[in-house]
A and B are shown apart, each in its own frame.
Chain A
Amino acid sequence: MNPKVTRRRFIKGVVASGAAATTTGMWYAANGQNRPSGAVERLIRINVNGQLRSVDVAPQETLASTLRYKLGLTGTKLGCNRGECGACTVLVDDVATYACSVLTHSMKNALIETVEGLESPNGDLHPVQQAFVEELSPQCGYCTPGQVMAAVALLRENPNPTREEARHAMSGNICRCGSYDSYLDGVMRAAQLG
């Protein structure tokens, strides 16, 4: 092999993925450049936490990018940006959804709920949030908004789950701190709180 190889030539020849191409696509979508002319409508309205929000959305923009970088709803976290960890979980029409894995343009007729939308207008925590506080469910907290939203989705569909049912329903959300037990304690307490 030629001992001298340029980065570009190497990638072209050998590597299609991995660290060299680290992040293509991750946040491009939140930026307004290189837009295809005459393609998808850019200014759309989406319903987030009960409010219609007008937002300039690139064609390939993910919901997570829109929420975080356009609407300032940074409670929705990006842990992997590839549909593995669940930190970006939001509710779309009551269904727990990875916001990193859906395009904002597909959300035009949907009801989107993020962790910021759960508290009551007077500031009371949602029962899931309250239960997570009481059980000290979070550790580092980075996955917590996603865990909260997954639990809310579960309890709307099944208000009295068994621990085993809760475990399966929450299994799309990774907690690297390993706080699964405490989150399940929180879900079961939230079911009691109603």
Chain B
Amino acid sequence: MAYMHIGKDFVPPDVPGKVTGRIKYAEDYTREGMVYSRLLTSPIPHARVLDIDASEALAMDGVFGILTADDVYPDGEPQSTGLKILTNEPTLVGEPILAVAAIDEKTAETAISRINVTFERLPFVLDPLDSLAEGGANAYPGDQNTFVFRQGFATEKWTEDQVASFRAGNEPTGEPQQTWSLGDLEAGFAASEFVYETTFTTAGYPHHSMEPRSAMAYWEDGKLYLHGTSQSLTALADGMAPIIGVPKKDIVFINAATGGGFGQRARANSIPSMAIPAKMSQKINRPVMMRITREEEFTIGGARQGFQGWIKVGFKPDGVMSACDLYIISDNGGKGGGGDASSAADCIDVLYQPDALRFRGTSIGSNTGHRGAQRGPGQNQIAPIIAPILDKAADALGISRLEIRKINAPHNGDVAGPRQTPFTSAYVPESLDLATQQFDWEGRQARRRQRKGSKVIGLGLGQGYHNAGRSGMDGIVTMGTDGRLKIHNGVGNLGTYSYASTSRAAAEVLKMPWENCDVLNVRTDNHLPITSPQDGSNSIFTNTRTMFGAATDMLNKMKQIAANDLGGDPADYDVSNERVHQIADESVGYTYADIARRAMELGGKYTGEADLPDELAEWTQISVSRLAGSAFMGVYHDARHEGNPPGFTVTCCEIELDLETGKYAILDMVTIADSGTIVHPQGMENQLVGGAVWGIGLAGYERHVYDPQNGLPASTGYWQSKVPTYLDTPVKIGTGWVDLPDPENPVGARGIGEPSMGAVSAALAAAITDALGGHHFASAPITADMIINHLAGTEENAVPLAQNNFRG
């Protein structure tokens, strides 16, 4: 289909501000009379606050107030997972206990040093399996170590022998908290020619967004103005209002740009620290800035769940995956939360369509960084574990590594997951073909395992998947008498440019030149509709639907007005060149400026004062009510779609691994996407290469490390964690896409942000395994130390399946 905007590059309006430094992040703002808040955080991994003596601090000149958990939770802290605003029972080092506001940060820090907090020290644990074993310490309040959905905190224990057997590499025998299955597992394994079984680990690690989550707040005329950070403005503000305790109509959230989110700034309950300056400002009646340091960002910024797992996979002689049995203990960190493990099983079912699959999982806490959604939560941890298993099966069955993936690939019409949901569309075989052709996969096979001095070549092929679309959100567009199209968009600006690219769906409907469109975002008092959080790779699918719908509502209204005024039926009219006109005689019509004027003269449904869609979210209703009567308006509530809109990626890579150092260079890499119609090619390429860098980190570098004696985090910085740099990534990453439309989206689009990471991590793990002659570490990351130990025949100096330490 020929589009005016879709599939074409453009300059998103915020980009000049990013290259000049003019765009403002939360910490760049200032306000007359602003004071500064600093945090007192927990120095120990698990404790209970017995007493806080702040008398000396509060007597200091320049100190304006203190905020404690008792202030923000007068009825007691909620018994739920996730970080609290402030807490009296910290379960990880660095968790905020209280905040002090002062004339400057030096004074605030000095005041904090004069506050005497008496802690009762409680037992702590860093490895979930240590907690799972009888007698092991428990991470959570009330001496509990897990959280059961809809039941609350609980305690889960296995015998020491059961844990020891699991660590020794055997199938876990403890009762799982969660299980689901498909097909006949026993029959699947009975039909298998090749069966592979192993335990595995994947590491937890922090999000480490570049912008620490600083926030500034003030109250004016009863309204809260909150400068913060988010992945989507209205999704965040909608959830933040009740956390702070302010009506939705009385919060203005300001967020022109967000310095990285990756899942941990999507929802208000993952960033409750923004309530601290809001509450403090309310208490002391001054604007309050709370700057967050890198170390604090590490602690309150969230982390990926680590896995301690066991997997058994069977393949028939023809290469079909006949059975997969998966058991995962997931590390829920210090605050609980996260459902990564089940998503990992779902990912295997989607990508490889096994005849039978069983998932068993148990979540156990540790007194480490709090866990939550991080780019492809679950799907991406399992990707580097499963890819080398596919290769082993291919080698054993005499099938090519490409062919075994094509044999098991999902197709249009297939279903997957615990509810056997059908795909809205799927073009994985096409993606495999495109990737391997662009990479010359077959031509490179002769290079496999070739050795030159200490260097050896490895080839890897990987796949990634994530559910990539939602629905049920709202859209608003307006037009004034200047005839410009104003697109009210609550999608956040965190680097995907989705706030702009989804807006182009509205411009497309009205055939509006982009230079005559204004995207209204930045602050919620721009009258923004509710959006889904910009997470789960959903924004393109979800919000092109709403933008398209709102613009279509405006288009229909244009035709109605024109038909009423100028004769004929609305169906006799179309739009072009910023006019609505008769199809038969284009001279009969209105300019957009004229039609907007007519709409405002008519009022009622044309200006948002009547006949609004049912089921508009409260947030959207507030925005529409404030706009009503002021402009020609299109309003839309998106009905739910059918099926699972998937995002798929395929990656090919070639590495050169140095057998003397254990390090490897990525010589070449190509990543291909199947994500429907491409809305914004440059943005798409950015998501593919950005996801690739994250995949490189997952496969080879990033991990939590904690001091086992005191529970102190040792990976609070970029270097220790370790985030990939220019030198850890290929000189150039090849990208491409299948570009076939999805029928459930009006412009054919699906998302891609998360799968791009999974495929790369899978390809890299496969390439490392290949270079090492098939040695499967069954671990992410695979570090140089692990490779060297393997090559030297040295046992690793780590407890098997260790979490939050140097292995896994």
Within 8 A of A (CB), among B1-45: 9, 11-12, 14-25, 27-28, 36, 38-44
Q: Which chain B residue shows the least CB distance to A166?
A: B726
In the complex where A20-B42, A136-B686 touch, is A74 in contact with B28 (Cβ < 8 A)?
yes
Name the residue among A87, A141, A142 with the largest chain B CB count within 10 angstroms: A141
Stretch at the interface among B472-480, B523-531, B546-554, B711-719: B711-719
Inter-subunit contact A178/B724 (CB<8 Å): yes
- Report if B107 contacts A (CB, 8 A): yes
Within the assembled complex, what's the spacing in Å between the Cα atoms of A145 and B120? 45
- Report if A93 contacts B (CB, 8 A): no
With a cutoff of 8 Å between Cβ atoms, the chain B residues found around residue A140 in the complex are: 209-211, 257-261, 494-495
- Report if B119 contacts A (CB, 8 A): yes
Inter-subunit contact A22/B295 (CB<8 Å): yes
- Report if A85 contacts B (CB, 8 A): yes
Within the assembled complex, what's the spacing in Å between the Cα atoms of A136 and B36? 35
In the complex where A174-B725, A179-B686 touch, is A132 in contact with B42 (Cβ < 8 A)?
no
Stretch at the interface among A26-34, A38-46, A101-109: A26-34
With a cutoff of 8 Å between Cβ atoms, the chain B residues found around residue A143 in the complex are: 210
Inter-subunit contact B42/A23 (CB<8 Å): no
Give min CB distance, A181 to chain B, whole Å: 4
In the complex where A7-B43, A76-B21, A84-B719 touch, is A19 in contact with B295 (Cβ < 8 A)?
yes
Give min CB distance, A115 to chain B, whole Å: 4
Contact partner, B296, options A2, A19, A114, Cβ 8 Å: A19
With a cutoff of 8 Å between Cβ atoms, the chain A residues found around residue B497 in the complex are: 136
- Report if A18 contacts B (CB, 8 A): yes
Within 8 A of A (CB), among B94-127: 94, 104-107, 109-110, 113, 115-121
With a cutoff of 8 Å between Cβ atoms, the chain A residues found around residue B25 in the complex are: 77, 142
Within the assembled complex, what's the spacing in Å between the Cα atoms of A190 and B15? 16
In the complex where A174-B723, A178-B693 touch, is A133 in contact with B296 (Cβ < 8 A)?
no
Inter-subunit contact B210/A75 (CB<8 Å): no
In the complex where A140-B258, A180-B729 touch, is A85 in contact with B718 (Cβ < 8 A)?
yes
Give min CB distance, A168 to chain B, whole Å: 7
In the complex where A31-B104, A129-B20, A163-B731 touch, is A178 in contact with B11 (Cβ < 8 A)?
no
- Report if B444 contacts A (CB, 8 A): no
With a cutoff of 8 Å between Cβ atoms, the chain B residues found around residue A173 in the complex are: 726
Within 8 A of B (CB), among A74-111: 74-82, 84-85, 87
- Report if A53 contacts B (CB, 8 A): no
Inter-subunit contact B106/A34 (CB<8 Å): yes
- Report if B746 contacts A (CB, 8 A): no
Within 8 A of B (CB), among A112-135: 114-116, 118-119, 125, 128-129, 132-133, 135
In the complex where A10-B44, A133-B15, A181-B732 touch, is A18 in contact with B94 (Cβ < 8 A)?
yes
Within the assembled complex, what's the spacing in Å between the Cα atoms of A108 and B211? 29
Inter-subunit contact A23/B211 (CB<8 Å): no
With a cutoff of 8 Å between Cβ atoms, the chain A residues found around residue B211 in the complex are: 77, 79, 140, 142
Give min CB distance, A12 to chain B, whole Å: 10
Give min CB distance, B34 to chain A, whole Å: 11
With a cutoff of 8 Å between Cβ atoms, the chain A residues found around residue B259 in the complex are: 77, 79, 140-142
In the complex where A79-B211, A171-B726, A180-B726 touch, is A19 in contact with B14 (Cβ < 8 A)?
no
- Report if B690 contacts A (CB, 8 A): yes
With a cutoff of 8 Å between Cβ atoms, the chain B residues found around residue A171 in the complex are: 725-727
Inter-subunit contact A81/B19 (CB<8 Å): no
Contact partner, A177, options B42, B94, B495, Cβ 8 Å: B495
Q: Which chain B residue shows the least CB distance to A130?
A: B19
Give min CB distance, A122 to chain B, whole Å: 14
Give min CB distance, A112 to chain B, whole Å: 14
With a cutoff of 8 Å between Cβ atoms, the chain A residues found around residue B23 in the complex are: 141
Q: Which chain A residue shows the least CB distance to B14?
A: A141
With a cutoff of 8 Å between Cβ atoms, the chain B residues found around residue A19 in the complex are: 41-43, 93-94, 295-296, 298-299, 712-713, 716
Within the assembled complex, what's the spacing in Å between the Cα atoms of A82 and B532? 35
With a cutoff of 8 Å between Cβ atoms, the chain A residues found around residue B719 in the complex are: 84
- Report if B576 contacts A (CB, 8 A): no
What is the number of residues of chain A that contact chain B, defined by CB distance less than 8 Å? Answer: 80
Q: Which chain A residue shows the least CB distance to B690?
A: A178
Within 8 A of B (CB), among A1-60: 1-8, 10-11, 14-15, 17-24, 26-28, 30-34
Q: Which chain A residue shows the least CB distance to B711?
A: A18
Within the assembled complex, what's the spacing in Å between the Cα atoms of A10 and B44? 8
Within the assembled complex, what's the spacing in Å between the Cα atoms of A176 and B728? 13
Give min CB distance, A88 to chain B, whole Å: 11
Within the assembled complex, what's the spacing in Å between the Cα atoms of A153 and B474? 46
Contact partner, B43, options A10, A81, A168, Cβ 8 Å: A10
Name the residue among A15, A23, A125 with the largest chain B CB count within 10 angstroms: A23
Inter-subunit contact A176/B20 (CB<8 Å): no
- Report if B578 contacts A (CB, 8 A): no
Within the assembled complex, what's the spacing in Å between the Cα atoms of A15 and B295? 15
- Report if B496 contacts A (CB, 8 A): yes
Within the assembled complex, what's the spacing in Å between the Cα atoms of A30 and B30? 14
> Contact mask A153-179 → B, CB, 8 Å, 1/0?
000000000011001101101111111
Within the assembled complex, what's the spacing in Å between the Cα atoms of A78 and B25? 11
With a cutoff of 8 Å between Cβ atoms, the chain A residues found around residue B210 in the complex are: 77, 79, 85, 87, 140, 142-143, 174-177
Within the assembled complex, what's the spacing in Å between the Cα atoms of A110 and B686? 37
Within the assembled complex, what's the spacing in Å between the Cα atoms of A116 and B691? 30
Inter-subunit contact A114/B293 (CB<8 Å): no
Within the assembled complex, what's the spacing in Å between the Cα atoms of A23 and B104? 14
Inter-subunit contact B685/A24 (CB<8 Å): no
With a cutoff of 8 Å between Cβ atoms, the chain A residues found around residue B299 in the complex are: 19
Within the assembled complex, what's the spacing in Å between the Cα atoms of A33 and B692? 46
Q: Which chain B residue shows the least CB distance to A131?
A: B19
Inter-subunit contact A138/B18 (CB<8 Å): yes
- Report if B407 contacts A (CB, 8 A): no
Give min CB distance, A20 to chain B, whole Å: 3
Question: 17 additional contacts, CB 8 Å, given A114-B21, A115-B21, A184-B731?
Answer: A18-B94, A19-B298, A22-B296, A77-B25, A79-B211, A119-B20, A133-B11, A133-B19, A137-B19, A139-B260, A139-B686, A148-B19, A167-B727, A178-B724, A181-B685, A181-B733, A182-B686
7 tightest CB-CB pairs across the interface, nearest first?
Answer: A75-B21, A178-B693, A19-B94, A139-B495, A142-B259, A20-B43, A141-B18
Report which B residues bind A (CB closer than 8 A): 9, 11-12, 14-25, 27-28, 36, 38-44, 50, 93-94, 104-107, 109-110, 113, 115-121, 208-212, 257-262, 291, 293-296, 298-299, 494-497, 682-683, 685-686, 689-694, 710, 712-713, 716-719, 723-727, 729, 731-733
Residue pairs across A and B with Cβ atoms less than 8 A apart, 28 shown, are A2-B121, A4-B121, A7-B40, A7-B119, A10-B43, A19-B42, A21-B43, A27-B106, A27-B291, A30-B105, A31-B105, A34-B110, A73-B21, A77-B25, A80-B717, A82-B294, A138-B495, A139-B260, A141-B23, A141-B259, A171-B726, A174-B718, A177-B495, A178-B690, A178-B691, A180-B693, A181-B685, A184-B731
